[in-house]
Amino acid sequence: MILYEHDNMNRDKNGKTLKIYDSTKQMPKGWNDRISSFMISKDNCLWSMFKDKNYKGKKYGPFVSGTYDLEDGFFDNDKISSIQSLCRDMIGPGLSDAQTVIQLDIFDKAYTLAKGIEESSGAHWKEGNTLDKVQDFVESEEDVPVIPDIGAEIDEERLAIIDIFAIILKIIGVILIAFLIYLVVKKVYQHTNKKGGEKNEE
């Protein structure tokens, strides 16, 4: 993400420019409440901005790749104190397979909303719709699923169901292994008894 001190990506050539590559809980010295426009180049990433440090206060976004200016109305001029980012390729490490599936699903829905180009609830968001129009649409449609904020807690109910299935599969596996062991032991026992019987007959 490239941050610009002035509007229209420093069209006047006088403003400062700052590149950031990850989340920042507090803006670098000289950049608190100084952002008037910005540009995002990387796809499959969601960026959110906050009025206060540590991702608190009024939230702006999430934003996807594109250019954003104060005149667009997506954020308040000179009011940004922290920025949070989440890219799709960052999801996975440290999570179970079930958690990863759920978080990727949440991310994809949020990214689709921000892009505003996919169908939802029978309506088609045509390419070119601005984020505010998409947000207005979402808020006006009760049947449109609410997409959790970046970093939202995992859907515990869905995760519990997946975990239950995983436990059931493990139990079935243990039972099958125990049954196989039983068959082997039984076979060995029968074979041993048979040999013992033959010796006794001799």
**pLDDT, tens digit, 9 for 90 and up, residues 32-86:** 999 999 998 888 888 889 999 998 999 888 888 888 888 878 889 999 999 988 8
Give the range of the structural domain holding residue 160, as residue numbers without chain letter: 156-202
Q: What is the DSSP string of 145-179?
A: PPPPPTTPPP-HHHHHHHHHHHHHHHHHHHHHHHH
Point out the domain boundary residue: 50, 71, 88. 88
8 by Cβ neighbours in 10 Å (0-12 / 13-18 / 19+) ranks as: middle
Residues 146 and 163 grouped into a single domain: no
- Using an 8 Å Cβ cutoff, are 177 and 113 in contact? no
User: pTM of the entire structure?
Assistant: 0.56
Residues 79 and 116 grouped into a single domain: no
Please list, in sequence order, all residues whose beta carbon lies within 8 angstroms of the beta carbon of residue 184, skipping any fewer than 6 positions away: none
Residues 59 and 18 grouped into a single domain: yes
- Counted domains in the chain: 3
Residues 119 and 166 grouped into a single domain: no
Residues 198 and 131 grouped into a single domain: no
Residues 77 and 11 grouped into a single domain: yes
Residue type present at position 103: Q
Other CB atoms within 10 Å distance of the CB of residue 70: 19
Tokens 């059931």 -> residue? 168
Greatest alpha-carbon span in the chain: 110
The pLDDT tens digits of the residues spanning 123-181 come to 333 333 334 444 454 444 444 334 444 444 445 556 667 778 788 888 998 999 999 99
Q: Where are the alpha helices (DSSP H) in the chain?
A: 7-10, 97-115, 131-140, 156-201
